[in-house]
Chain A
Amino acid sequence: MEYCLGIESTADDFSVGIASFEGEILANIIDAFISETGGIHPREAAQHHSQVAGKVLAEAFKKAKIKPKEIKVVAFSQGPGLGPCLRTGATVARALASYLGVPLVGVNHCVAHIEIGKLITGAKDPVTLYVSGGNTIVSAFDAGRYRVFGETLDIAVGNCLDVFARTAGLRQREGMPFGAIIEKLAEKGSRFVPLPYSVKGMDLSFSGLLTAAIELLKREEYSLEDIAFSLQETVFAMLTEVTERALAHTEKKEVLLTGGVAANKRLQEMLRRIAEEHNARFCVVPKQYALDNGAMIAWTGVLAYKHGQTVPIERSFVKLRWRLDEVDVPWVKE
Chain B
Amino acid sequence: MLIKKGAEANLYLKEWHGRKVILKHRIPKKYRLKIIDEQIRQYRTLHEPQLMHKAKQAGVPTPTIFMVDTANTTIIMEYIEGKQVKLILNELTKKERISLCKKIGRLIGKLHRNGIIHGDLTTSNMILTPTGKIFFLDFGLGEFSKELEAMGVDLHLMKRALQSTHFKFADECFKAVLNGYMETFGQETEKVLEKIREIERRGRYIAERKEKP
Among A15-23, A93-101, A195-203, A293-301, the one that faces the other chain is: A195-203
Residues of B within 8 A of A233 (CB): 32-33, 36
A270 to B36, CA, bound (A): 14
Expressed in whole angstroms, the minimum distance between the Cβ of A255 and any Cβ of chain B is 12
By the criterion CB–CB under 8 Å, are A80 and B141 in contact?
no
A248 CB–B CB distance under 8 Å: yes
A323 to B206, CA, bound (A): 7
Among A117-125, A149-157, A213-221, the one that faces the other chain is: A149-157
Q: Among B6, B119, B202, B207, point to the contact of A154 (Cβ < 8 A).
A: B202
By the criterion CB–CB under 8 Å, are A197 and B207 in contact?
no
A201-B167 CB under 8 A given contacts A80-B205, A134-B204: no
By the criterion CB–CB under 8 Å, are B205 and A322 in contact?
yes
A151 to B164, CA, bound (A): 12
B71 CB–A CB distance under 8 Å: no
A269-B206 CB under 8 A given contacts A200-B119, A200-B141: no
A201-B30 CB under 8 A given contacts A143-B167, A192-B35, A321-B205: no
A200-B157 CB under 8 A given contacts A247-B7, A323-B207: yes
Expressed in whole angstroms, the minimum distance between the Cβ of B169 and any Cβ of chain A is 12
A326 to B202, CA, bound (A): 18
A254 CB–B CB distance under 8 Å: no
**How would residues 184 to 215 of chain A score, 1 for a CB under 8 Å from any chain B CB and 0 otherwise?**
00000000101001011111000000000000
A149-B164 CB under 8 A given contacts A237-B32, A270-B32, A321-B209: yes
A320 to B206, CA, bound (A): 10
B153 CB–A CB distance under 8 Å: yes
A48 to B199, CA, bound (A): 34
Residues of A within 8 A of B163 (CB): 147-148, 325
Among A57-65, A164-172, A238-246, the one that faces the other chain is: A238-246
Residues of A within 8 A of B209 (CB): 321
B14 CB–A CB distance under 8 Å: no
Number of chain A interface residues as a range: 35 or more
B8 CB–A CB distance under 8 Å: yes
A203 to B161, CA, bound (A): 10
Residues of B within 8 A of A203 (CB): 153, 157, 160
A128 CB–B CB distance under 8 Å: no
By the criterion CB–CB under 8 Å, are B161 and A201 in contact?
yes
A197 to B35, CA, bound (A): 13
Q: Among A80, A197, A201, A325, point to the contact of B157 (Cβ < 8 A).
A: A201
**How would residues 30 to 49 of chain B score, 1 for a CB under 8 Å from any chain A CB and 0 otherwise?**
11110110011000000000
A200-B153 CB under 8 A given contacts A192-B36, A321-B205: yes
Residues of A within 8 A of B161 (CB): 201
Residues of B within 8 A of A80 (CB): 204-205
B18 CB–A CB distance under 8 Å: no
By the criterion CB–CB under 8 Å, are A199 and B141 in contact?
yes
B203 CB–A CB distance under 8 Å: yes
A201 to B138, CA, bound (A): 11
Q: Among A152, A156, A234, A269, point to the contact of B31 (Cβ < 8 A).
A: A269
A152 to B121, CA, bound (A): 17
**How would residues 121 to 163 of chain A score, 1 for a CB under 8 Å from any chain B CB and 0 otherwise?**
0000000000000110000001101011101111110000000
A231 CB–B CB distance under 8 Å: no
Expressed in whole angstroms, the minimum distance between the Cβ of B55 and any Cβ of chain A is 17
Expressed in whole angstroms, the minimum distance between the Cβ of B140 and any Cβ of chain A is 10
A315 CB–B CB distance under 8 Å: no
By the criterion CB–CB under 8 Å, are A249 and B119 in contact?
no
B5 CB–A CB distance under 8 Å: yes
Binding site for B on A (CB under 8 A): 80, 134-135, 142-143, 145, 147-149, 151-156, 192, 194, 197, 199-203, 233-234, 236-237, 240-241, 244-245, 247-249, 269-271, 273-274, 320-323, 325-326
Can you list 15 A-B contacts with CB-CB less than 8 angstroms, sorted by A residue number? Answer: A134-B205, A143-B167, A148-B164, A152-B203, A152-B204, A154-B204, A200-B157, A201-B119, A233-B33, A240-B32, A241-B8, A244-B7, A248-B5, A248-B6, A273-B31
Not counting A200-B157, A245-B7, a sample of 4 additional A-B residue pairs whose C-beta atoms are within 8 angstroms of each other reads A151-B203, A192-B33, A203-B160, A323-B207
